[in-house]
Structure 1
Amino acid sequence: MKIFKRNIEANLITALKDTPVILLNGARQSGKTFLLKEMVRKNLISEYITLDNIEPFTVASREPEDFLNSFKGSVILDEIQRIPEIFVSIKANVDKKRTPGKFILSGSADIFQLPKLTDSLAGRIEVHTLYPLSQMEINNKKGSFVDHIFSKNTQWNSLPKVSRKKIFSSIFRGGFPSVQNKPLYRLYDWFGSYVNTIIQRDIRDISKIEKHSDLPGILELLASRTMQLYNNAAISSSLKLPQTTMTRYIKLLRMVYLVDFLRPYARNVTKRISKAPKLYFTDTGVISFLLNLSSSFDNPFRGQIFENFVIMEIIKQISWSKVKPKVYFYRDLNGNEVDLILELRGGDLIAIEIKASTSVKPKDFDSLKLLKSQVGNRFLKGFVIYMGDNIYPYDKNIFSLPVNALWEQPFN
């Protein structure tokens, strides 16, 4: 099995030096356990314990204080979401002695969405998310496209021609490490088992839902509407479910990192904007499985899934970038839309349009120009990312950009 270097490792090493509790969360099979065991192998962390094993699970459940005190050095506690009650004991332990890098927690659920955990480790914990592999990691590239575009003098080297067949194959396969070396015909079985495990185990672990029969249909419908405005009432009606039930299901699916929301941008532009979020999946391989698509991507969902792919590639890179922009989309009530906005803390932003086409037209830049006129000097740059091969300057600080620029540049 090929070993992939995870770019977020440097961030974790930095956190070990000054933070008592580090949480590495993310979807099941995204590579958390392998990465953390590698850090133990490199002597960066002393010990690895998984609460999937019955003995540590039993001891930690019954005597959490004694369990935590038994570790003299730094320790990884994997599958931490299985014992949410232990966080109170971790807080007490850390408050007695704030040893940097003492507890490294990992889990396949967003623990801060669990009851009573929101404030227990505030100020004591640094949180990192490990997503499925980015194209940069798959292609063994370093640096960050995000840092690159926010630099003052962004330069672009010549790029290899875009292989649309390779891009479609990457979208179809997704980013989970376990599927990177599997033949395409084996992916259906792998993703079937993966989704079933999420439904039957992970969601069961964090909820009291006994009936899971609604979830396959919910996931299929959500996959068909990825990157569209999320309307809970309409989704509930389509599935013949109460809105409160659908709201709960969405919360659970977000907690296990299958889906998430992209929020609308609204800073000082206009009040006449859409307030609904967009739903997206954290892995395009899961979408392809749920919609029973082929790797040729000759299907009506092509534009949506390509947009999901590009946005996730950028979100993955933000997880290890030096700049940490917040991500939004923009849509006004007249239908003008910008697919992705990256906003720095002071309000400066970069806007990105995403087109699943091999060429760009002048009208593809209209929404970028509209947003630029509204936000003024806070607009740093704008890009139309597409399936073609050329970088074209369209206007001042507005360019077309081939999709492989996200990972083919020799970023520092």
Structure 2
Amino acid sequence: MREAIDYLPRRAASLACEALEDTRVVILNGARQVGKSTLAERVLRQHDGGMARYLDEPGTRLAADRDPNGFLDHEGLMLIDEVQRVPELWLAIKHAVDRDPRPGRFLLTGSARLLSLSSIPDALPGRSETIELWPLSQGEIDGDDDGFVDAVFARGPQLRAKPLDLRKKDYLDRALRGGYPEAVKRTASKRRARFFDSYLADLIARDIKQVADISRIAEMRRLISLLAAQTSGLLNTARLAGELGVSRPTVASWIGLLETVFLVRRIPAWSANSTTRAVATPKVIFTDSGLAAHLTVGAVEHGALFENFVLGELARQLSWADTYARLYHYRDRDQYEVDAILENDAGEIVAIEVKSAQTVRDDDLRGLRHLKRRLGPRMIAGFVLYCGTESLGLGEGFACLPLSALWTSRSEGR
């Protein structure tokens, strides 16, 4: 298992090394405890004369704050870990790479979406490339291909999954485990629960307070629990504001903050001129299904948890897939809905329904058929991902696949 857990840094390190060949500043952005520092140190070891600076260390942070330009004085690659801790460094980095535009100058890590922080004065346009890290995907844990996004656009409804003897309980165990490396290593549920508790406490005490002046910590903690209880549901800020006793703008700003520290992700609604009755409300998922399940102590429905699990796996793959695509959900005023919509840059659509059952019923295709009638040939495939074992064609450009197809499908380019 330890070798599989180390798979994430190996893959992302390759992306970072490629970026450093022609980009002055590479930013590794992602949640706490997903392996950013491990990845960055591995990349640094591949560059002679590299230097690491860790801003979690008080003395190092003081030096960066007092003399930003002197702090950056180094000829080779410099790794700066947790760079958001000293916003003053940002302008100094911009000045340094403008004076010396050689590629591979700086490798930065941060546990917040750096370019969305108001304390960061400049976004380094044209000078930087960002690589976003999520908690481990299932393919990274198992050593599988993680090529579903590329495969569905390449093979459409003819795609079939590699046979595996996984049942609903196996998939549920994966969703409950999540993808934080430390949680994956802790096979005992009580030990994993302790990790999730300490993770959330650390996130609130350090990351959230670091990027915003939040005094109502109890309400923020309550908001996180409410979002977990309705994971994969439509975002209703009015209802959340009423339950918390705060204003809607406050709830909206807090959710934006939770996105900034990579705890949740909004999945936008999809619409087109041919589907004018579409609802524009986004969904909210947790970047880690295990943490979402832990926060609800088993109260979240399996269907919602599996949907969060699948949407999270798709979002992870989009960060490295050869196919450039975007992730949406679809729902209209006539109550037709599709859990996931993938749209590539040619406007082609792959629609995906997620079911926690071990069998597929005809009614499970209701939303897919509706979208197919509206879009015609623009919708190149529709899939039902479920907890059964068989891959079956269902006609009309539809197929059902086991959930494992997400991480066992091979990309055409690999």
**Which TM-score band (shorter chain)?**
over 0.9
**Do the aligned partners of 2:65 and 2:86 also contact (CA within 8 Å) in 1?**
yes
**Do the aligned partners of 1:272 and 1:333 also contact (CA within 8 Å) in 2?**
yes
Q: How does 1:13-92 map to 2 (within 5 A)?
A: 13-43=17-47, 46-68=50-72, 70-92=73-95
**Do the aligned partners of 2:84 and 2:110 also contact (CA within 8 Å) in 1?**
yes
2:154 is equivalent to residue 151 of structure 1: yes
For 1:240, the equivalent position in structure 2 comes to: 245
Q: Cα offset for 1:194?
A: 0.4
Q: In structure 1, give the amino acid aligned to 2:35.
A: G
**Do the aligned partners of 1:88 and 1:120 also contact (CA within 8 Å) in 2?**
no
Note the alpha carbon deviations across 1:327-374, whole angstroms, 9 max, x for none: 111111111011111111221121111111111111111211211222
2:86 is equivalent to residue 97 of structure 1: no
Which range moves more in the overlay, 314-323 or 147-156?
147-156
Note the alpha carbon deviations across 1:144-186, whole angstroms, 9 max, x for none: 2211112147543541122322221111111000121212221
Q: How does 1:287-298 map to 2 (within 5 A)?
A: 287-293=292-298
Give the gaps of 5 or more residues in structure 2.
none
Q: How does 1:207-222 map to 2 (within 5 A)?
A: 207-222=212-227
**Do the aligned partners of 2:146 and 2:406 also contact (CA within 8 Å) in 1?**
no
- With normalisation by structure 2, the TM-score equals 0.93
Q: CA separation of 1:377/1:128 partners in 2, compared to 1, >3 Å: closer, same or farther?
A: same
Q: How does 1:4-403 map to 2 (within 5 A)?
A: 4-6=6-8, 7-43=11-47, 46-68=50-72, 70-115=73-118, 117=120, 119-152=122-155, 155-156=159-160, 158-182=162-186, 183-293=188-298, 301-403=301-403
SS of 1:98's partner is: coil
Q: CA separation of 1:44/1:268 partners in 2, compared to 1, >3 Å: closer, same or farther?
A: farther
Q: Cα offset for 1:73?
A: 0.6
Q: Cα offset for 1:2?
A: 1.3
Work out the CA distance in 2 between the residues paired with 1:320 and 1:349: 19
Work out the CA distance in 2 between the residues paired with 1:237 and 1:45: 56
Q: In structure 2, give the amino acid aligned to 1:402.
A: P
Work out the CA distance in 1 between the residues paired with 2:101 and 2:300: 54
SS of 1:132's partner is: coil
When the two chains are superposed, the root-mean-square deviation of aligned CA atoms in Å is 1.8
**Do the aligned partners of 1:159 and 1:409 also contact (CA within 8 Å) in 2?**
no
Work out the CA distance in 1 between the residues paired with 2:118 and 2:332: 36
**Do the aligned partners of 1:159 and 1:408 also contact (CA within 8 Å) in 2?**
no
- With normalisation by structure 1, the TM-score equals 0.94
Q: CA separation of 1:100/1:286 partners in 2, compared to 1, >3 Å: closer, same or farther?
A: same
Q: In structure 1, give the amino acid aligned to 2:381.
A: K
Q: In structure 2, give the amino acid aligned to 1:135.
A: Q
* Structure with greater helix share of residues: 2
Which range moves more in the overlay, 236-245 or 114-123?
114-123
Q: CA separation of 1:10/1:267 partners in 2, compared to 1, >3 Å: closer, same or farther?
A: farther
Work out the CA distance in 1 between the residues paired with 2:46 and 2:126: 28
- Segments of 4+ moved more than 6 angstroms: none
Q: In structure 2, give the amino acid aligned to 1:391.
A: S
Q: Cα offset for 1:410?
A: 4.7
SS of 2:381's partner is: strand
Which range moves more in the overlay, 95-104 or 226-235?
95-104
Give the gaps of 5 or more residues in structure 1.
294-298
Work out the CA distance in 1 between the residues paired with 2:238 and 2:49: 47
Q: CA separation of 1:139/1:379 partners in 2, compared to 1, >3 Å: closer, same or farther?
A: same
